[in-house]
Amino acid sequence: MKENRKSNKAINYQELLRPFNISIEDYTETVAVVRQLACALLQLTDKEVQEQAEKDENFGTQLYARIFARTSYIELEHELQATDFSSNLAMTGEKYPSLAADVITLLASRCKLRLTKSQYEKILRYYYLRLAVNQHLNLSRIKKAQDIVTSDIFDSFMLAGRIKEALNSSAAGKLLDIGTGAGIPGIILAILLPELTCDLLDTVRKKLAFLDFVCRDLQLPCNLLWQRVEDYAHSQARHSYNFVVARAVSSLPTLLEYSLPLVKIGSFCFCLKTTNEPELSAAKLRNLLGALSLPPAVYSLPPAAQANFPRQIMAYRQVASVASTYPRLHNLPRTRMLEIAQELS
């Protein structure tokens, strides 16, 4: 009980309630109101919330992540309404329709994916939503309409094609997008591969608020996770995903230390990187983490893309459990990546 109380105090309940225009001084009453909101957002009874929390130690984290995302979503929605969001979206759609439509059609053919009308329209809608919202919120370093299509959406399609191949040898299941940011590749994968349950993880609340907005608008059943990946990898989510994907989050050795502990034994991890990044130190680390390297998929972006270097999808299959010491906490996979590589030499 003491641990739960300590954990509760770490959460700023007043901040959670502020967007709902609710102000309560009493701590116990504040917690009760937050629980009621959580039940409403997840459409569960209070008893069902308690039962699920007892079964899954990570349920509480997901619960509060949804509240944080929802409250940020309300703030974001107010901002967009104040700046005539619908007008911006219509203007964006009129300005860039042909480029996105043409590239999406070309990508579907190249990746051997048959798009339904609904999938095609949802991808275009995501494209327009991102352009409009990015005028008010820094979602990604990629801001130009052309680059969103020829880089972000292009990468997502190529990854979807690679996952589609892997699905032939793996039952459809759960996918985790680490450091999803503006929803790349997770949102596009959720549209293209509806047979997968997609979880989108990030540490930036405003970005998750945007993704909450997108998922509601496009009716995508994605789960939003507001948490550090190294903490998440030490929860019940460990070795539970059929596919873990990461794109340009960090160096390859760091990505593997974050990702592989979350991959189910016999399942896959895909990292999107450039071909000019060496895999030598990553190879030593992946052996330690119980993964086998698969042939990478190398491709080039369209000529219109800002980046002119080839891309590759690094693929790994998890064959053994990862030691409980990994991933290391306190940001060590990033700050001391070279140390572990030297120890393995």
C-alpha distances out from residue 131 to 54, 67, 125, 149, 208, Å: 41, 25, 10, 11, 16
Say if residues 302 and 154 touch (Cβ distance below 8 Å).
Answer: yes
Rounded to two decimals, what is the model's pTM?
0.73
DSSP-based three-state secondary structure for 199: strand
pLDDT value of position 83? 47
Say if residues 280 and 302 touch (Cβ distance below 8 Å).
Answer: no
Helix (H) or strand (E) holding 79: helix 59-82
pLDDT value of position 340? 55
Name residues of the chain where pLDDT drops below 50: 1-11, 19, 80, 83-97, 338, 342, 345
pLDDT tens digits for range 141-161: 787 777 888 788 889 999 999
Say if residues 232 and 244 touch (Cβ distance below 8 Å).
Answer: no
DSSP-based three-state secondary structure for 345: coil
Respond yes or no on whether the N-terminal peptide bond of residue 327 is cis (omega within 30° of 0): yes
Query: Is residue 159 exposed (0-12), middle (13-18) or buried (19+ Cβ within 10 Å)?
Result: buried
Count CB neighbours of 333 within 10 A. 23
Half-sphere exposure of 190 (CA within 13 A, CB side): 24
Tokens of 286: 């992946």
pLDDT value of position 276? 61
**How does DSSP assign 25-48, residue by residue?**
--HHHHHHHHHHHHHHHHT--HHH
**How does DSSP assign 270-303, residue by residue?**
EEEEETTS--HHHHHHHHHTTEEEEEEEEE---T
C-alpha distances out from residue 142 to 103, 134, 181, 258, 339, Å: 17, 10, 11, 24, 32
Strand partners, 299: 311
The maximal CA–CA distance of the chain, rounded, in angstroms, is: 60
CA distance 236 to 250: 24
Query: What dihedral angle (degrees, nearest 10) is formed by the CA atoms of 119, 120, 121, 124?
Result: 120
Half-sphere exposure of 323 (CA within 13 A, CB side): 8
Tokens of 123: 């991808």
CA distance 63 to 39: 9
pLDDT value of position 271? 93
Task: Output DSSP code: residue 202.
Answer: E
Say if residues 205 and 216 touch (Cβ distance below 8 Å).
Answer: no
Count CB neighbours of 59 within 10 A. 18
